[in-house]
Every structure is written in structure tokens, then in C-alpha cells.
């Protein structure tokens, strides 16, 4: 009896094949069109189908490599149906979850025998340079042991059998990433075999890569210090060559996160010079603080390994094979004559969210379209914005950038297909799908700080299962809609969506959906953030009897009249920290060397308020910045010290705000 086949579930087989084949196979099995099954003494399971095809599943052979007489080069419905039909034929119960089994138990001899010498050596070469991996052990919400590598995710779908290990790289199975995942679990087992989630470094026995980011990171820090002292307002237009040289040096050093950070920083400076709405002073300040934080952590001052902090081993772009993506909605922004759309697409296999972006630029003399008018425009690979925002896509021409930006290529043969969906998000795995906000809060507490985490888009986009809608209200002063929904425990999630001219009917449709115009609210999707001790979200979509994507909805709709609400005042700690961060943002915007004469005095006053609410360390750092600025104004040689003091204060205040 084949224990590996007994351990398979429809979800497991879908990860190895695709959901469409699984649904078709299950339907044919229900209709009595399944195979006649036999199993020989060597464990080879064969199935003869009514259409004459014969599929065989030998032990230790991946599903895609198993033979079938139908001639299909990829996984076919016959192999899928045979795998799904076997447990019932064997009259055996499915194999329960492997209690305590870890992929780290696989030894190198078995690993080399499975992958072959070439793949094993490729994995060993990657290990010599060091790779950071997050391992997730099986549990109620995570049925498979999973390893999140920098460029891909490996799932061990059947305990104890590497033939069923699935990677989301283009190879899919038996690749070098499987070896790295096994080694990661081995390192995690040695450290803590019970921890459900653990970050480890897979590296040969040598001094860790921590010990500094090297000359490339130092050069990036010098560029950041120049920008901080001059400010975004006074940044030289000729900085482009300096940015290019820094990025190239960081690329050669394999430091992906600083590369993407400099890209974001240069984009922000360009937005200011173009007087674009994309510019945010707070964003510039946060990027400068993040670069300083990553550099300090890479120098060995923190607990996280340098490769994790710097993104070493993160491929700038990775080709993906046979990807199934479920849309969580979309948002559209206006910037002058530009319209920018973001479609948020969930990968159920890896619990990650990818971001697909599209920009339309309208020439002079042509009226820029609103979001609902853009809905029918092509967004990617023959699919419209509306089709992707409301549907699910299956593609073989996807590339994922390091920051989880998705690129769908145009290819012959219709390799990307889009189908409608109704927001049936029950099958989405945790933690992507949140049933209890308490579980999400527990997971967030154990995360590294945002300034040091992988620089990925939509990191905090989730789907919340809604138990009920508590209230809906209007904020007329802020031109926003606010609402509160409850989870299974009765914990509250605050929804907040501002009115924007580019999406003229968004608030009406959101209010109608939350009021039950299309049936009870089942799910709401959006980006979670901490606020005033709880969670807050700007909704991307609401799933009821239909999927409502507010930004793309075409009016009119009959929306309920909402009672007015009053904005709740921030508590003293939150208010003092926000004021201090605002001052630091101002310093980065105008430049520390160009700050107004009263700027140090305002820093001192903000430090007093921080001390008064118990944030004594933040207050001390702000006072050091004040003293450094006064010293630099009397002695021009001391400006680097002011930049260092600004970085220290900004890092600390960002950590305080993140902890809520």
C-alpha cells in the first residue's frame, strides 16, 4: 500500500498540477468515470480509463514524470484522477499529519540521489554564499512543511517523500531549492524543533556574512547622508549618475534590498522635481532611516543575519511556472495626467500576495479617464483591469521581482487565462486569510522590525472573514467613510476609505455592500495596519453575494444615508511620537543644512513632550539631534554628526510607532 498516495489531498494534487484538472478529475470520479486500478508487488499503481488511456504511478516518481499513454507532456487528468482515486480503491484512511516529521531528517545521500549530482552541487554553491530561509512547520493552518527562500517557496506536500516536494520556481520539482529547504529545516531543528516559524541562515561553516555591508553599502550611506543634509528640496538633479553607480555596486555585492531602496528613493526625488503627487516627505524620511538601519544591522549590531537584512541571495527577478492567482481587488490613483492601477493577486500555494501594476498616461487635449472608465482597458497579457481585479488568473508567463511585483508576459498560445470569481476566499490559507485578529497580532509581534524585514509590496494585505458589520459612518470633514467589522471573536477591524475623484462611486458602493445590498458580508480585503492599539484597513474589495471592488464600480447605486462620525483623537504617546516623526520628515524634506533657524528649538520642545509621555529614549535622541544641529551650524565640519543623530532618532521613533 502506497503511503505517499494516501497522504495526498485534492489541495496537494492541485499544487502539483492545477485546480482545473483536479476539479475535472473529481467530477469524473463522481460520475463513475474513474480508472480500473491495480497495484503490483513493486508498488507501481496503474489505472485504465474508459477512454483507453493507461496511467502509471511508480514509487518515488513525481506526478509530472509518471507515464501515461495519452501522450501529454505535462501533468494530465489521468494521472491526477488516478492519484485522487487511489485511497478509496485501497479502502484505506488518509494518512494523518506527520507528527514531528521534519524535512531536516533527509540526509545528504538521499538528497543527492533524488536531485542528482548537478542540482546538489548548485545548491552547495548557493550555500557557500549563504542563504536566509524562513521555515514554517505543519499545523492546523499550515498543512505542509514550508521553506520560504529568497527567490521561491518550497512545500513538502507528503511527509518523508521528496518526490512530492513542490517549488514555485520554473523547475517546480527536484531543483536546488529543495536541497536548500532541507538544509534550512535541519538548521532549524538544531536550534528549536518546536518553533512553528523560524528564520535561519543556510551557510557553510565559516564566519557569517555579517560584519558590514562593504564599500558598496558605505557608498550608498554617503549618498543618503548628502540627500539628508541637502533635503529633497535641494537635491541635485545630477544625482542620477551617483544613484546608478551605487546601485551597480550593490548589485555586484548581491545586496538586493539596498538596491530596491535606492530605486525607491530616486523615484521619490524625481517625483518632487516633477511636482508629482507621488512625492511624500514622510516616504523619503522613512527610506533614509531604513538604509541607516539596514547598514547598522549588517555591521553585526543586531540579531538578524546580514544576508537577511541586505537581501543577499534574493534574485532581482524570478521566472515562475504554472501560477494560479486569486484577485483580492484593485486600487487606482491619479497623478496629473497619469492613472496608476495596482491589482493585488494572492498565490494560494505560498500565501503570498503579488502586485500587478499598470500606468496609463493621457496626452494633452485628452481627458484622463476615471477608474471605472479604465476598467475595460487592457492591463496585462490580454486581460482587462476589471477582469483581473474581479477574477482569478492561471499563467505560465509570469515573472516575480524581488519586491513581489508581478510581470505577466505576452506569449503565444494563450498561456494566461482569466476567469471570474465571486470572492469565495474560504480556501485561501492562513495567514493570508484571517479568521481571528488575535492570531494576526500574535504573528506580528514575532516579526522583525519593518526597517529590517524583506522589502516586499503588499506584505500586510490580508482577507478577513467577517462575522458581522458593527457600524458604518461618514467623516464629512475628512471626506471619508468609516466602518467597523467584527471577526469570529468579536474583535473589531476599523475600515477607512477616503473619497478620491478618480474613483467617484467608491464610497457609495462600499457603503451599500457593507449595508447588505448584495447579501451578508463574508470577507473584506485590504492592507492591515496598527492604529490606536487595534487594526485598521483601507478596503480593496468586499465579498458578499458578488465581489465589490469599490474603485472600479460604475454608478449609480442606492447607498444608505450614513450618520456622521467624529475622528477619535490620538492618545498622548501616539500624538507625541507622530509630532516628532513629522519634524524629522520636515528635516529630510528641506535638508538639515537648510532647516529654519527655529528648527532646533522645535526639536527641543518635541523632546520635552516625548519625555512627558514616558518615551525617554526617543527624547534623548531628539535632544542629541538638536545639539548636533547647533554644533554643526557653528562648525561646518560637524554636519555628518547631525546626519548620524537624525538617523538614530528616526530609527527609534519608527520602531516605537510600529509597536503601537
Confidence (pLDDT) at 97: 53
Read off the pLDDT band of 447 (50, 70, 90): confident
The bridge status of strand 165-167 relative to strand 405-408 is: unpaired
Long-range contacts formed by 608-611: CB under 8 A, 24+ apart: 609/576, 609/579, 609/580, 610/576, 610/577, 610/580
Confidence (pLDDT) at 358: 95
Read off the pLDDT band of 638 (50, 70, 90): confident
Question: In a 3-state reduction of DSSP, which class is residue 522?
Answer: coil
Read off the pLDDT band of 431 (50, 70, 90): confident
Q: Under 8 Å CB-to-CB from 202, ≥6 apart: which residues? A: 127, 130, 131, 132, 133, 180, 183, 184, 187
**Grid coordinates belonging to 555:** 454608478
The bridge status of strand 153-156 relative to strand 405-408 is: unpaired
Of 47-56, 89-98, 490-499, least confident by mean pLDDT is 89-98
Name the DSSP class of 94.
Answer: P
- pLDDT tens digits, residue range 241-262? 999 999 999 999 989 999 999 9
Distance CA 520, CA 497 (A): 20
- pLDDT tens digits, residue range 278-291? 999 999 999 999 99
Domain residue limits, the chain: 3-90, 103-202, 214-310, 316-567, 572-659
Confidence (pLDDT) at 212: 45
Mean of pLDDT values over 352-362: 95
Read off the pLDDT band of 349 (50, 70, 90): confident
Read off the pLDDT band of 423 (50, 70, 90): confident
Read off the pLDDT band of 93 (50, 70, 90): low
Confidence (pLDDT) at 415: 62
Mean of pLDDT values over 108-117: 93
Mean of pLDDT values over 554-569: 84
- pLDDT tens digits, residue range 511-557? 999 999 999 999 999 999 988 778 999 999 999 999 999 999 998 89
- Which residue has better confidence, 570 or 466? 466
- Which residue has better confidence, 507 or 144? 507
- pLDDT tens digits, residue range 317-326? 888 777 889 9
519 DSSP β-pair partners: 517
The mean pLDDT of the chain is: 89
Amino acid at each position: 500500500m502506497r503511503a505517499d498516495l494516501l497522504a495526498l489531498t485534492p489541495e496537494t494534487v492541485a499544487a502539483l498540477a492545477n485546480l482545473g484538472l483536479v476539479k475535472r478529475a473529481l467530477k469524473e470520479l463522481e460520475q463513475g468515470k474513474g480508472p480500473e486500478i491495480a497495484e503490483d508487488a513493486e508498488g507501481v499503481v496503474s489505472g485504465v480509463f474508459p477512454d483507453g488511456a493507461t496511467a502509471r504511478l511508480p514509487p518515488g516518481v513525481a506526478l509530472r514524470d509518471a507515464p501515461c499513454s495519452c501522450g501529454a507532456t505535462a501533468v494530465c487528468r489521468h494521472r491526477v484522477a488516478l492519484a485522487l482515486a487511489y485511497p478509496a480503491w485501497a479502502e484505506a484512511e488518509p494518512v494523518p499529519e506527520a507528527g514531528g516529521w521534519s524535512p531536516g531528517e533527509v540526509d545528504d545521500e538521499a538528497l543527492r540521489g533524488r536531485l542528482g549530482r548537478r542540482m546538489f552541487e548548485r545548491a552547495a554553491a548557493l550555500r557557500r554564499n549563504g542563504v536566509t530561509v524562513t521555515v514554517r512547520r505543519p499545523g492546523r493552518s499550515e498543512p505542509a512543511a514550508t521553506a520560504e527562500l529568497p527567490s521561491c517557496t518550497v512545500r513538502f506536500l507528503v511527509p518523508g517523500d521528496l518526490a512530492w516536494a513542490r517549488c514555485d520556481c520554473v523547475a517546480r520539482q527536484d531543483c536546488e531549492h529543495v536541497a536548500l529547504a532541507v538544509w534550512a529545516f535541519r538548521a532549524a531543528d538544531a536550534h528549536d524543533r518546536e518553533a512553528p516559524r523560524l528564520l535561519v541562515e543556510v551557510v557553510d561553516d565559516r564566519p557569517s556574512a555579517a560584519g558590514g555591508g562593504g564599500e558598496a553599502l558605505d557608498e550608498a550611506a554617503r549618498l543618503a547622508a548628502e540627500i539628508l543634509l541637502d533635503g529633497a528640496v535641494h537635491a541635485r538633479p545630477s544625482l542620477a549618475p551617483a544613484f546608478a553607480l551605487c546601485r551597480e555596486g550593490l548589485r555586484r555585492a548581491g545586496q538586493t534590498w539596498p538596491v530596491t531602496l535606492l530605486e525607491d528613493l530616486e523615484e521619490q526625488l524625481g517625483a518632487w522635481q516633477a511636482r508629482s503627487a507621488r512625492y511624500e516627505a514622510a516616504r523619503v524620511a522613512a527610506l533614509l532611516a531604513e538604509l541607516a538601519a539596514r547598514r547598522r544591522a549588517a555591521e553585526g549590531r543586531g540579531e538578524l543575519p546580514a544576508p537577511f537584512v541586505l537581501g543577499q541571495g534574493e534574485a532581482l527577478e524570478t521566472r515562475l511556472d504554472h501560477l494560479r492567482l486569486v484577485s483580492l481587488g484593485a486600487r487606482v490613483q491619479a497623478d496629473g495626467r497619469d492613472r496608476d492601477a495596482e491589482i493585488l493577486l494572492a498565490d494560494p500555494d505560498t500565501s503570498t500576495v503579488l502586485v500587478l501594476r499598470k500606468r496609463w498616461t493621457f496626452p494633452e487635449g485628452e481627458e484622463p479617464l476615471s477608474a471605472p472608465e479604465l476598467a475595460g482597458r487592457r492591463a496585462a497579457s490580454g486581460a482587462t483591469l476589471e477582469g483581473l481585479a474581479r477574477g482569478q488568473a492561471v499563467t505560465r508567463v509570469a515573472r516575480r521581482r524581488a519586491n513581489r511585483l508581478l510581470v505577466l508576459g505576452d506569449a503565444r498560445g494563450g498561456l494566461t487565462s482569466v476567469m471570474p470569481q465571486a470572492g469565495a476566499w474560504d480556501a485561501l490559507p492562513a495567514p493570508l486569510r484571517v479568521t481571528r485578529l488575535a492570531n494576526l497580532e500574535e504573528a506580528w509581534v514575532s516579526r522583525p522590525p519593518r526597517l529590517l524585514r524583506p522589502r516586499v509590496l503588499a506584505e500586510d494585505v490580508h482577507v478577513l472573514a467577517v462575522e458581522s458589520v458593527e457600524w458604518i459612518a461618514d467623516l464629512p470633514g475628512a471626506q471619508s467613510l468609516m466602518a467597523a467589522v467584527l471577526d469570529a471573536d468579536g474583535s473589531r477591524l476599523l475600515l477607512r476609505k477616503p473619497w478620491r475623484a478618480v474613483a467617484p462611486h467608491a464610497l457609495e458602493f462600499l457603503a451599500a455592500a457593507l449595508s447588505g445590498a448584495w447579501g451578508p458580508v463574508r470577507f473584506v480585503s485590504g492592507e492591515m495596519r496598527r492604529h490606536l492599539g487595534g487594526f485598521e484597513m483601507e478596503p480593496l474589495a468586499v465579498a458578499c453575494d458578488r465581489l465589490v471592488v469599490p474603485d472600479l464600480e460604475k454608478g449609480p447605486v442606492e447607498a444608505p444615508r450614513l450618520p456622521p462620525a467624529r475622528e477619535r483623537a490620538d492618545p498622548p504617546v501616539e500624538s507625541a511620537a507622530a509630532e516628532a516623526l513629522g519634524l524629522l520628515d520636515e528635516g529630510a524634506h528641506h535638508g538639515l543644512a537648510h532647516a529654519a533657524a527655529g528648527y532646533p528649538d522645535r526639536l527641543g520642545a518635541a523632546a520635552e513632550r516625548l519625555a512627558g509621555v514616558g518615551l525617554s529614549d526617543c527624547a534623548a535622541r531628539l535632544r542629541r539631534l538638536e545639539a548636533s544641529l547647533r554644533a554643526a551650524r557653528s562648525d561646518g565640519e560637524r554636519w555628518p554628526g547631525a546626519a548620524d543623530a537624525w538617523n538614530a532618532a528616526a530609527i527609534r521613533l519608527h520602531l516605537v510607532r510600529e509597536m503601537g
